[in-house]
Amino acid sequence: MKKSPLFFVLLFTLFLAFLFTSNGVAKNLPEDYWQELLEQTQHKSVERKLAEEARLQLNNQEAKTQANALAATKSALKKAEQQRLALEKEQDALEIALQETQQRLQLRSTALGEVFAVYREEKSNLFGLLSNARYSQQYPQLLAFAKPDLTQQRLPKIEDFNQLWQALQQSWLATSQAVHYQAPWVNLTGQVETSQLTRLGDLQLMNPQGVLQLNSGELPSLWLRQPAHLIQTNQAFLAGESERVTLDPARGLTLELHSRQPSLLERVQQGGLVGYLIIVLGLAGLLVAFVQSIRLGFEQRRVLKQLAKPAELKPNNALGRILSGMNKASKQQKNIAPEALEASLDELLVRESAALERGLALVKLLAAMAPLLGLLGTVTGMIATFQAITLFGTGDPAMMASGISQALVTTVLGLLTAVPLLLAHLLLQGRSRKLARILEAESSAWLAKLLSPPSAISQASATSQGPVGMASMLGKETRV
């Protein structure tokens, strides 16, 4: 049996009374003390009872609320379960209907499978044709029709076949037309302009500025680096001044190849440092050869003038200097031995021949160095190519183009430099040797005349051609 709180309060009061009585304290307390203590105890017990009842009532209300919420949740769960079952049944029914529809579609498409395959193939071919056609900008509806729709699962209808036939017919007709129409295009600065364009079938699209290229899904733009004669011919055709027109039968491939060809400066830049060195050496060799050619030309003219006037020895030419030196040597020593005269003559000839051949050794050296430098550029270019292959593989040829270009360009530069230098060396060497032979012949004739007796000298003078004959021979050799 559960004890009430009042019982415990009374028990506690009796305990206190016993405690005070036993200790003799009760004798000193007033008479109404016990009455007040009892009333306070009863009042507190009543308050505790009221608080206990209020808390119990609140707990009962919360319990009812939670019970109601639980009932509502169970009801909602039951409804959701019913909806789930209904949706599962509906999904099963839809899956069954989808399977039946796919089976019917397969049965219907089996008989016309080849026809539908041909339709899709022709439509795909038409899209590929229109993507690069010159008339696709003029007929955008054809490109929109031929664009494949990967999300479409339905079978083509008879209207689709008719539309495909009309698109093919219109495409064939457009390839045989030469028309003018207004359309936007992109100039060389990247700006969009709208002007009259001329289409010649499916071969070429052009305007007075040049031939236009087609970019899939973009506006047509001008080709870069078009030949000047092509632009001039087409401008005259568009202006009605000429009936000639320049066409690219490859539908732009020839112009693309021409536009990608590097210029002379770009070719030189592809050679790299070795290419620049070859060009510098070649220019230096040609400069030396040019200066030596001018010097030999002036020397040849002065020698011709000296041969025309043998009595007037001038120091401005090799022959005059040789003969003047021999005259001085013979006058200073009248009884000089013939061997000494020959030695002096040989010394003068060697000195003048060296002056005539000045710079030829340098030209020959540069002509020999140019191919070797070209070979050096080839080796360095191939090394760069193999390094690119090691890093990037062979999948991208553009990564190897730089090294291959350097290898080929340096070889070409070396050969182009060596051939003119070798030719210049050969020509200059021939001219210098001709002058050296003339100097040697005239000097030998002068020495023989000096050493011969007077009777032999007069006889030789009557029968020989003399300096004038040598001058005429030199003139003929020079003309040749």
The pLDDT value given to residue 472? 41
| Look-up of token digits 């005059």 | 320
The pLDDT value given to residue 419? 92
d(CA 131, CA 143): 7
Helix (H) or strand (E) holding 451: helix 398-451
For residue 179, the SS3 value is: strand
Question: Tens of pLDDT along the chain (480 residues)?
Answer: 455 555 666 666 666 665 555 555 455 556 566 677 677 777 777 778 888 888 888 888 888 888 888 888 988 898 999 998 999 999 999 999 998 888 877 776 666 667 777 888 888 888 888 877 888 888 888 888 888 776 666 677 888 888 888 888 888 888 888 888 888 888 888 888 888 888 888 888 888 888 888 876 678 888 777 888 788 888 888 888 888 888 777 777 777 777 777 777 877 888 888 889 999 999 999 999 998 888 887 777 877 777 777 666 776 676 667 676 666 666 655 556 666 666 666 667 777 777 777 888 898 999 999 999 988 888 888 888 888 777 777 766 767 777 788 888 888 899 999 999 999 999 888 888 888 787 777 777 776 666 665 544 444 444 444 444 444 444 444 432
The pLDDT value given to residue 423? 92
CB 417 within 8 A of CB 271: no
Give the pair of three-digit tokens for residue 67.
């019970």
Residue-wise DSSP of 139-160: -HHHHHHHS--TT--SPP-HHH
CB 385 within 8 A of CB 400: yes
Q: Enter the DSSP assignment of 26.
A: G
The pLDDT value given to residue 285? 92
Residue-wise DSSP of 193-212: EEEEEEEETTTEEEETTEEE
206 phi, psi to nearest 5 deg: -150, 170
Helix (H) or strand (E) holding 405: helix 398-451
Q: Where are the alpha helices (DSSP H) in 198-252?
A: 228-238
The pLDDT value given to residue 421? 92
Q: Enter the DSSP assignment of 181.
A: E
The pLDDT value given to residue 111? 63
What share of residues in the chain are helix, strand, coil (percent, to 5)? 75, 5, 20
For residue 185, the SS3 value is: strand
Give the pair of three-digit tokens for residue 205.
């699209």
CA dihedral sign, ordered 285, 287, 292, 294: positive
d(CA 414, CA 422): 12
Which pTM value belongs to this model?
Answer: 0.52
Buried b (16+ CB within 10 A) or exposed e, 234-244: bbebbeeeeee
The pLDDT value given to residue 466? 42
The pLDDT value given to residue 422? 92
Q: What count of Cα atoms within 13 Å lies in the side-chain half-sphere of residue 439?
A: 31
* Angle ∠(156,160,164) on CA atoms, nearest 5: 125
The pLDDT value given to residue 478? 40
The pLDDT value given to residue 5? 57
